[in-house]
């Protein structure tokens, strides 16, 4: 017998240790209120793409090249 879920999925995380205060919200607003935010996003994406590994084709695995 399968039990039905009684709590919503979004409540599976831990409660915050302390709520955000007004000064925290102001600091977050100032942090993300930048003119160069799009440039920063592109820079992060470029660096993340460099971390994506290239497949290493050794002689033992060269037959996989035709399938990928």
Cβ neighbours of residue 68 under 8 Å, at least 6 residues apart? 55
**Predicted confidence (pLDDT) per residue in 56-65, tens digit:** 656 666 677 7
pLDDT-derived band at 19 (thresholds 50, 70, 90) equals: confident
- Residues 39 and 45: their CA atoms lie apart, in Å, by 10
Cβ–Cβ < 8 Å for 57, 64: yes
**Predicted confidence (pLDDT) per residue in 27-44, tens digit:** 999 888 889 989 999 999
Domain-wise residue ranges, the chain: 22-66
Contacts of residues 19-28 at CB distance under 8 Å and 24 or more positions apart, as own/partner, are none
pLDDT at 44: 92
């Amino acid at each position: 017998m399968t039990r039905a879920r009684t709590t919503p999925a979004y409540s599976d995380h831990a409660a915050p240790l302390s709520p955000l205060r007004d000064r925290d919200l102001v600091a977050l607003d100032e942090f993300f209120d930048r003119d160069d935010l799009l440039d920063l996003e592109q820079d992060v994406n470029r660096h993340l793409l460099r971390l994506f590994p290239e497949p290493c084709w050794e002689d033992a695995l060269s037959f996989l090249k035709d399938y990928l």
